[in-house]
Amino acid sequence: MADEVVLLDRWPSPYCMRVRIALALKGVICEIKDEDLSNKSTLLLQMNPVHKKVPVLIHNGKPICESLIIVEYIDQVWNDKPSLLPSDPYQRAHAKFWADFSDKMILNKSVSLLTSKRKELEVTTKEFKENLKLLEEQLGDKHYFGGEELGFLDVALLPIITGFKIREIYGKFKIEDEFPKLFAWANRCLQKESVSKSIPDQEKMYGLIVEMRNKFGVE
């Protein structure tokens, strides 16, 4: 009997992007249901009664929540494709550390793009660039954070790409100039169909963020 896989999704969510990329990399056939978070579905409330958030992966009727947990689950269950997580315990722990770093230091702070005034965003750019520098040091001369192929940490970090344009505009800097290795990594990843079809392009995200800032009356 074939697996029944459903993803409760929201297209602009960086956490949902991770799951979509992992599913695509593993070739998992999945029904994607885009949620209206202002009017959450009964299914979402049933499947994630604790946090009531997306993403939620429903595998044969059983829910798995939280993006990094879901990505690891996908990696373990659909193991006929190359593993996303390293087999070496130290390298595995290292990848999880930096994935956690990306959550706490970058993605969790991205709400500031919607709510902060322009001058405040210019200030937060300094911290953003410091964090990008740390990530670029981790990438080094490798093609991907996972080595020669996309791995767990690449999947965790890829949603950052979608916010590059607005960060550049408000922060008045160019990713390509200041972080050339990260810029090359991003372009390399986007050449893969599993990535390019799983995340919105920067122009679409920029348009959404500008629209939301106007809605909130932020300038």
Q: For residue 95, give every residue at least 6 positions away whose Cβ sits within 8 Å of its Cβ, in sequence order, or none.
A: 85, 86, 145, 146, 151, 152, 153, 156
pLDDT of residue 168: 86
Sign of the CA dihedral 200, 68, 212, 135?
Answer: negative
pLDDT of residue 117: 78
pLDDT tens digits, one per residue of 163-193: 888 888 878 899 999 999 999 999 999 999 9
pLDDT of residue 133: 95
Strand partners, 56: 8, 65
pLDDT tens digits, one per residue of 200-219: 988 888 888 888 888 877 76
pLDDT tens digits, one per residue of 70-119: 999 999 999 999 999 999 999 999 999 999 999 999 888 776 766 777 77
pTM of the model: 0.94
pLDDT of residue 219: 64
Question: Domain extents for the chain?
Answer: 5-77, 89-216
pLDDT of residue 216: 76
How far, CA to CA in Å, does 192 sit from each of 91, 112, 148, 188? Answer: 24, 30, 13, 7
What tokens appear for 91 in the block? 């390298």
pLDDT of residue 114: 66
Give the whole-angstrom CA distance, residue 59 versus residue 48.
13
pLDDT tens digits, one per residue of 123-161: 778 888 999 999 999 999 999 999 999 999 999 999 999
pLDDT of residue 210: 85
| Record: fold of 5-77 | Glutaredoxin (3.40.30)
**What is the mean pLDDT of the segment spanning 44-60?**
98
Question: Could you tell me which CATH class the domain 89-216 is placed in?
Answer: mainly alpha
pLDDT of residue 211: 87
